[in-house]
Amino acid sequence: MTAAHAQPLRCPGCAATPEQAAHHDRLLRVDVDPGQLLALFEMAVTWYELDYSRCDVLALRTGPASPSGTAGPTRSGPRRRSRWPWTSSAGRRAHRSSRRPCWPPCSNSSAGDPDPIRTYRIVDAVMQDGLMPGFLELPDRPAKPRRIGLTHVLDPGAGRAATVDLLDSAAAHIDIWKVGWGTAYVDTALPAKLAMLATHGVASCLGGTLLEIAWAQGRATACLDWAEAAGFSHVEVSRGTVEMELRAKRELIRTAARRGFTVLAEVGSKAPGEQHAARQWPAECRADLEAGAALVVTEGRQSGTVGTFDAAGRVRPDVVEAVVATVGVERVLFEAPRADQQAWFIRRFGPAVNLGNVALADVLSVETLRLGLRSDTAAVPPRDRTGSESA
């Protein structure tokens, strides 16, 4: 986008101090200069760590150029309350005193989207936050970052645009994003996706299959070196694909944890019909946590027909209860890719249960299950005989 394609934001009466003038002007240039936009994101600002809750947002005016060369559609309106962040404590103080911020950073900009209409549609959606419904009594859900009630998604190789769209609508409901199998090794969009995840406060996890294969080839250290350089915050350590002794698995957990990764240790085989899981998994889970894992993951695969489940996808309650009795439900992430499986765990352990291998398309669906907004988990209060709502 160039100046010919959009009008800069108007900033009447802004009281930015002289010390903030350069920063102030830079934020205005972001509206018309994609280079400035990229430079802003290279500052590695994490919007969720900042507070912009006391500021008003001025009406925005923008639009693509029309064929005649004149400015395209514009949009304006009254000031709205916003929770947009600012980029420094000094900046927050200056602009809180003026109460006229110049630019609400767009969460979609990390994807390099130059379309002002799309950009401001996203901004407007967040600015309309106060219009979200609040008339139902729903279970409490802790805000991110949270330690329980985690939603862990499985990325089978989603493209950059699909990642942007999902994060725009559902980042608040995603805690861990696992790049599944070995797709991280061949996904050319991976650097951009990892940057987007960091911007949206979503942890990135390297799938265990790639680390298993690297270990089998004697390249586990090189794999962890690469994962660290790429920007993964979590790694999964498993032994469901290659033959690996428990001692070697625990050493791999310790190595990854010492390097600063949050380790998810998976138990179970990827082959169907695993026997004696109820007897063997609890001890493995306890030892994995003692070795430094943050969570243990019960195998379910993308199909939901192995490990924790039988060949028909039904939960194996004896396996689940044995693991929970040993390490506690809050330390377990249950891979549960199917809606009926997710509902079973929520009915058994409540909305704060940790669920994994959720399909990208099912994130909001899982959240409605947690909140009782689907018939599978809804708890509807009774009505009196006249049909009116009971108190």
Q: Are residues 200 and 344 in the same domain?
A: yes
Output the CA angle 5-165-347, nearest 5 degrees: 160
Poorest-pLDDT segment among 107-111, 146-150, 277-281, 384-388: 107-111
The encoded tokens of residue 104 equal: 């609400």
Cβ atoms 216, 222 nearer than 8 A: no
Using the predicted structure, report yes or no on whether residue 57 has a pLDDT greater than 70.
no
Q: According to the model, what pLDDT value does residue 304 have?
A: 83
Average pLDDT over residues 274-284: 91
Q: Are residues 63 and 207 in the same domain?
A: no
- Comparing 181 with 102, which gets the higher pLDDT? 181
Percent of the residues in the chain that have a pLDDT greater than 70, as a whole number: 64
Q: According to the model, what pLDDT value does residue 43 have?
A: 54
Whether residue 196 is contained in a domain is answered as yes
- The pTM is what? 0.67
376 class by beta-carbon count within 10 Å (0-12 exposed, 13-18 middle, 19+ buried): middle
3-state secondary structure of 258: helix
The encoded tokens of residue 137 equal: 């009594």
- Comparing 135 with 1, which gets the higher pLDDT? 135
Concatenated DSSP letters of 36-48:
HHHHHHHT---GG
Average pLDDT over residues 239-265: 97
Average pLDDT over residues 150-174: 96
Rounded CA gap, 367 and 170, in Å? 10
CATH number at residue 207: 3.20.20.70
> What residues make up the domain containing 265?
151-371
Average pLDDT over residues 348-375: 97
pLDDT, mean over the chain: 78
Concatenated DSSP letters of 266-323:
EES-SSSS--SHHHHHHHHHHHHHHHT-SEEEE--TTTT-STTB-TTS-B-HHHHHHH
Whether residue 191 is contained in a domain is answered as yes
Q: Are residues 197 and 113 in the same domain?
A: no
Whether residue 385 is contained in a domain is answered as no
Using the predicted structure, report yes or no on whether residue 293 has a pLDDT greater than 80.
yes
Q: Are residues 159 and 111 in the same domain?
A: no
Report the domain count for the chain.
2
Average pLDDT over residues 235-256: 96
Using the predicted structure, report yes or no on whether residue 228 has a pLDDT greater than 80.
yes
Q: What is the pLDDT of residues 95-149, one digit of tens each?
A: 334 433 333 343 343 444 444 333 333 344 444 445 778 899 999 999 999 999 9
Average pLDDT over residues 59-69: 37
Cβ atoms 373, 137 nearer than 8 A: no
Whether residue 189 is contained in a domain is answered as yes
- Comparing 138 with 56, which gets the higher pLDDT? 138
- Comparing 380 with 377, which gets the higher pLDDT? 377
Using the predicted structure, report yes or no on whether residue 219 has a pLDDT greater than 50.
yes
Question: What angle in degrees, to the nearest 10, is found between the helix axes of 160-170 and 363-371?
Answer: 20
- Which residues have CB under 8 Å from 230's CB, separation 6+? 184, 190, 191, 194
Q: Are residues 69 and 124 in the same domain?
A: yes
Q: According to the model, what pLDDT value does residue 344 have?
A: 97
Using the predicted structure, report yes or no on whether residue 384 has a pLDDT greater than 70.
no
Q: Are residues 35 and 124 in the same domain?
A: yes
Whether residue 184 is contained in a domain is answered as yes
Q: Are residues 125 and 227 in the same domain?
A: no
Average pLDDT over residues 167-179: 97
